[in-house]
A and B are shown apart, each in its own frame.
Chain A
Amino acid sequence: MPTTSAPDEHLRLEGIGVSFGAVNVIPSLDLSVRKGEMVAFLGPSGCGKTTTLRIIAGLNKPSRGSIMVGGRDITHLPIHDRDMGMVFQSYALFPHMDVSHNVQFGLQMRNVPAREAEKRAAQALEMVQLGHLAHRKPKELSGGQQQRVALARALVIEPSILLLDEPLSNLDAKLRDEMRVQIRALQQQSGITAVFVTHDQVEALSMCDRVVVMRGGHVEQFGTPTEVYERPATAFVANFVGRTNRLKGALTAEGILTGAGQQLRSATRLPAGAVDILVRPHRIRLQETGEADNKVQGTVSTITFIGDLVQYGVSVGGEEIVVEEATRRGRSPLAAGDSVTLGWSAEDTLIYPAGEK
């Protein structure tokens, strides 16, 4: 957790807490976002992502703590003075204005002369490739187009921070991929500091410089996509970011013992006691022939073809381990009932104190 401010820090949350009535939704949250970076709030539904974003925008008042932008305390600044560009999950376009006037709105509120506002709105719409639809009403646009208008409307005011609340969740898969690339490109071109709320790990990992993994109103881990994926701070993060196998075991003087009695090696250091052992399915080799830190015998029980991947269910001493391999041309050489030797390295063996979820 950041305690001292980085020199290029732009946004800082200090001890932010939120209670709705008696429910303590966010106990205490600290966060530091650098200038020009895009940070993802990633977590399951209901963990407080939207609430935190709304607090930054001023739409919700924190019960405790303070918000700083560029070293200035804005905790008590009214919404309209905060200079934030917000993209809502439902887009929230003004239904009574055409696209151009939607984009001009923020400029009008800043008393930009009409001519210039019109010109800048046109430029912003070109930027999201919607120049030709400037005179349509929002209801005459598709979801993806509305999304881009919302983005142009938020960016045209050149806000101090861009806030995006699950902006892609209402789009179909293909459009989502396109918009992911486009939003990231726009954010990097303008060098704007951005906070991106999502429950989709692919979005968080692929678009953002750093990821805040949230759970139940607190931060589980704050790091780069690689850190979060390769070195998850908790079992929850490992489970939430990417798929993983989970075995029960114990850490003893001799090493790690699984429930089924196999001895494993891990690069992680922990005090002795009951542990959960986590291994990513695609880090396990199915037919280990050479040397490996961890080697266990098992029997293939299921084979599932899922396009790019083939998923094998392998039963090992009563527990099921999932192994994923890239699909190869031709039929899989394995069949259910075959014996296999699974192998994986100590670095890929993550251990956490048992019971942590």
Chain B
Amino acid sequence: MSAAPALPRAWRDGQLAVLLLLPIALINAIGFILPVLNLARYSFNRSRIGGGIEQVFTWENWVGLLSDPFYLELVLNSVWISLAITLTTLVVSYPIALYLHRASGSWRTFLTVLVISPLLTSAVVRTYGWIAILTDDGPVVSAIKALGLPAPSLMFNIKGVFIGLTEILMPYMILALMAGFGRLDPRVEEAARTLGATPARTFRKVILPLTLPGIALGCLLCFVLAVSSFITPKLMGGGRVFLLATEIYDQAIVTLNWPLASTLSILVLIVFGAALWAYSAVLRRLD
């Protein structure tokens, strides 16, 4: 044989692509799809005292969940708080991301590393850091007291969770924003300025619209991370802040009610689906 045999035409036309995608598809099927299907199945089973699962088909988990005001409030509360945290994270991260986008050279590299560096420590450590800072005799409360103002309670309530999660999510938000800032060309901003736009109008009419893809991406990412966040609400909420993820944990590990925990998990998945739909709707409108 003088030459290597040519690849069959069909290979070039997609079978090769399928082959290359197969490993990740397999991992996803085993590591993600199957467990989710399993969860869906549990959500239609009945729980027994002591953690047992009765293999019957029943709607009672779903009916119970959707008719119990506690759970409805839990879902709404989680979504609402996560949205508020996402928005706060966006507002504090946007100027940083814009500055980083415009910085250049080694200064930009240095700052980017600085922004990413919190990700090198686990959320547990960072949460304990925040507990030390926000606790009743910590530096923040002491400083406020020293100013003669009434001492706020920042720990073991929603305020602490809010502050802690916002900071923990900031690196993700900044990276997502920067990834979506590709269309922002300094020349285009300058063009707006020469055409008579003040800095504020340039921001509203040019910078903001051009950075919307980044904003949408960052918000989707941080919302999903906020809804599913567990460690920070658990540790900083002190058992007094009820959110979806912590409730799933309590049901699965403390009460051992796996069917209810599964039902809540599927509900979270539905919330994610809605977020994803909103995200793609925004992107479609942009184009």
Give a binary string over A81-100; 1 marks a CB under 8 Å from any B CB, 0 the rest: 11111101010111110000
B191 touches A96 (CB 8 A): no
B201 within 8 A of A: yes
A92 touches B187 (CB 8 A): yes
A106 within 8 A of B: yes
B194 touches A57 (CB 8 A): yes
Give a binary string over B175-195; 1 marks a CB under 8 Å from any A CB, 0 the rest: 000000001010110111111
B187 touches A157 (CB 8 A): no
B196 within 8 A of A: yes
- Complex Cα gap A163–B187 (Å): 14
> Which residue of the partner chain, among B188, B196, B201, B206, contacts A157 with CB atoms under 8 Å?
B196
- Interface size of A in residues (CB-CB distance below 8 Å): 27
B193 touches A94 (CB 8 A): no
Q: What is the CB-to-nearest-CB distance from B211 to chain A, in angstroms, rounded to a whole number? A: 10
B194 touches A84 (CB 8 A): yes
- A-B pair count, CB < 8 Å, reads 66
B187 touches A88 (CB 8 A): yes
B209 within 8 A of A: yes
User: Which of A82, A84, A92, A153 lies at the interface centre, i.e. has the most chain B CB atoms within 10 A of its CB?
Assistant: A92
- Complex Cα gap A289–B125 (Å): 96
B210 within 8 A of A: yes
Indicate whether A59 sits within 8 Å of B201 (C-beta atoms), given known contacts A92-B185, A94-B206.
no
A109 within 8 A of B: yes
Q: Which residues of A contact B191 (CB under 8 A)?
A: 86, 88, 92-94, 153
B196 touches A109 (CB 8 A): yes
A127 within 8 A of B: no
Q: What is the CB-to-nearest-CB distance from B121 to chain A, in angstroms, rounded to a whole number? A: 37
Indicate whether A110 sits within 8 Å of B188 (C-beta atoms), given known contacts A94-B206, A105-B205.
no
Kindly identify, within residues 239 to 268 of chain B, every residue whose CB is under 8 Å from any CB belonging to chain A. Answer: none
User: Which of B185, B191, B192, B210 lies at the interface centre, i.e. has the most chain A CB atoms within 10 A of its CB?
Assistant: B191
A82 touches B195 (CB 8 A): no
B221 within 8 A of A: no
A80 touches B197 (CB 8 A): yes
- Complex Cα gap A106–B190 (Å): 12
A90 touches B187 (CB 8 A): yes
Q: Which residues of B contact A86 (CB under 8 A)?
A: 190-191, 194
A80 touches B196 (CB 8 A): yes
Indicate whether A95 sits within 8 Å of B188 (C-beta atoms), given known contacts A80-B197, A80-B198, A109-B197.
yes
User: Which of B187, B197, B209 lies at the interface centre, i.e. has the most chain A CB atoms within 10 A of its CB?
Assistant: B187
User: Which of B183, B188, B194, B209 lies at the interface centre, i.e. has the most chain A CB atoms within 10 A of its CB?
Assistant: B194
**Besides A86-B190, A157-B195, A163-B194, 5 other A-B contacts (C-beta < 8 A):** A59-B193, A80-B197, A83-B196, A84-B194, A105-B197
Interface pairs (8), CB distance under 8 Å = A82-B194, A92-B191, A94-B188, A105-B195, A105-B205, A109-B195, A153-B195, A163-B194
User: CB within 8 Å of B: which residues of A?
Assistant: 57-59, 78-86, 88, 90, 92-96, 105-106, 109-110, 153-154, 157, 163
Please provide the 10 A-B residue pairs with the shortest distance between their CB atoms, ordered closest to farther: A109-B196, A106-B195, A92-B187, A92-B191, A79-B193, A86-B194, A96-B209, A92-B188, A109-B197, A80-B196
